[in-house]
Structure 1
């Protein structure tokens, strides 16, 4: 008998052609509810700004909405881009979320800006500290502030006691996210669970996880290294359909990486009629090799193989399928189907 994998979801709340933010959010709520019902472990939302194809701009707000519309699944950030925010504000937000949904909140922290320099400047105009040297200290501040005992701030006039919330009975689970060796070293040094962004920076995954596991120092909250694998996935009844559904997102990523303006996610028909440059077509070919784009049996087998290769028992999937023209505007049928098909294959012992 094969041990079941734990599956989780990463959602950027994609906005496709002719879809409003409200409709995209409605679709993601339905996706979270399905993941909850199917037995997925956690559901994370990202932080991106000023992108016409992404509605996931404010993780704490989204987490509150999604947690209120689900029953048991853990809901969290993948992640909050900490240099954009004051540590106390993040600690207060997630302290309240944990109080409202005890035992269900994850706080994933990253150090990337999540947008272009103009937006980054506007986000940081409130005085959030953005230099790299402050990042480890800010993580430590947040974990201390979230603890029921709080933290002590030393002032010239004496000590000042500070807590994110006045009477915490639990704390959210804090994860460190990254796409470089820096984050692996830091997560290991602070004894935090760690996720490397394999879904968009997969070339260094093995090295980053080896660094993290080799250097890990046990902490009060974590005795041994803990991580999982992130993957992009489009799964349908046939490989041809899965490929067609994934192409709009692949084209969007190719435009992003080649510095072209972005728009909403195209429909399957719009993507099929789009001509990409030779360089962009080469990028898409590489994505096709790295993403999980297949029918359910082969897709599940590859996910199991990758989990074994990287030594993890949990895989976080970003369902990337777009929609056909004429599909319901406030639903994501391809993303729903990806979760259904993989749950059938992976969330029950064989």
Structure 2
């Protein structure tokens, strides 16, 4: 079995005692480490109004991370397109590509990424009402792709044909990916000849089915003559299995709270998570969620990731490093998330290209 290339997904977690600014500094440090180690790409998510997540604005974060790194591809994982006007997204990522040519990915999803209240605030005057924005998602994807292309699009306005470009003189366009946790985006990506990623890291099931649907229905495009996909996996790696389990507990408790409707707060420290423990009534749910995580020593994790890549026929695995931090960790760093990346890179012999 060939070792897969590695990439990173980052939600910019915010733990107890950490400010937003410190969480952003920790993300810059993590991204620089991924760049140094030879990871292929670094994607940043879009989530809103969550006390434990600072990834609210992917294009701003992409700009920050791209400026702090040298080689690694940087992108959104993803922009939730129904929340935004397609032209705004096209303009943002066309500028990012102009500033960092050949290094920008635009991952697009159609989920809200937030609660109903924030959805209303986001979409007022931009993406339209929720149902309309979601229903028009395929057209919005086409619009973004066309407007980011160097030639832009032509539109008939007041009887005249006029050009609309995301930026005046583009020389290249970001790579466009569709993201999803259901069959819809798999089918759309196949029909459009676009790369596709299934959210294996949080979806309960359906990875094999979605990837088969995508590959079987794929219509080749000029940019992508063959289907292109990879796997996303939550991961925590440490020197011992017991320590890896401890480092995974803060994120697991946060996910249980999210799924059960419990009050949300910043991610607990490892000490607080161990003291709190996992309620017996939620243990089955926690086991179901963590069953797809990769938690353990570097050698065990490397074997799991290689087996997953082989099972799903992908050459790349995107790691979402969910290791928590102890109370005495530097506020502007995530030492155990960085260690997860280092241990995996060493175990899988990842090197900069």
> In the alignment, which residue of structure 2 is the partner of 1:128?
127
Encode CA deviations 1:101-127: one digit per residue, 9 max, x unaligned.
000000000000110000000000123
Question: Deviation of residue 286 (structure 1)?
Answer: 2.1
| Kept in 1: contact 2:202–2:289 (CA 8 A) | no
> In the alignment, which residue of structure 2 is the partner of 1:293?
295
Map of 1:1-350 to 2, 5 A cutoff?
A: 3-129=2-128, 130=130, 131=132, 132-348=134-350
Q: Does 279-288 or 91-100 show the bigger shift?
A: 279-288
Encode CA deviations 1:57-89: one digit per residue, 9 max, x unaligned.
000001001000000000000000000000000
| Kept in 2: contact 1:5–1:347 (CA 8 A) | no
Separation (CA, whole Å) in 2 of partners of 1:61 and 1:211: 33
User: TM-score when scaled to structure 1?
Assistant: 0.97
| Kept in 1: contact 2:110–2:180 (CA 8 A) | yes
Separation (CA, whole Å) in 1 of partners of 2:281 and 2:86: 41
Question: Deviation of residue 158 (structure 1)?
Answer: 2.3
For this pair of structures, how many residues does the alignment match?
348
Question: Deviation of residue 156 (structure 1)?
Answer: 4.4
Partner of 2:120, secondary structure, is helix
Question: Deviation of residue 289 (structure 1)?
Answer: 2.2
| Kept in 1: contact 2:2–2:306 (CA 8 A) | no
Structure 1 portions without partners, runs of 5+? none
The ranges of structure 1 where at least 4 consecutive aligned residues each deviate by more than 6 angstroms after the TM superposition are none
Structure 2 portions without partners, runs of 5+? none
Cα distance 1:288–1:128, how it changes in 2: closer, same or farther (>3 A)?
closer
Question: Deviation of residue 285 (structure 1)?
Answer: 1.8
Partner of 1:168, secondary structure, is coil
Partner of 2:283, secondary structure, is helix
Question: Deviation of residue 162 (structure 1)?
Answer: 0.4
Question: Deviation of residue 153 (structure 1)?
Answer: 1.3
| Kept in 2: contact 1:8–1:42 (CA 8 A) | yes
| Kept in 2: contact 1:255–1:280 (CA 8 A) | no
Question: Deviation of residue 336 (structure 1)?
Answer: 0.4
Question: Deviation of residue 348 (structure 1)?
Answer: 4.3
Separation (CA, whole Å) in 1 of partners of 2:284 and 2:271: 21
Partner of 1:223, secondary structure, is coil
Question: Deviation of residue 288 (structure 1)?
Answer: 3.2
Separation (CA, whole Å) in 2 of partners of 1:287 and 1:258: 12
Separation (CA, whole Å) in 2 of partners of 1:185 and 1:85: 22
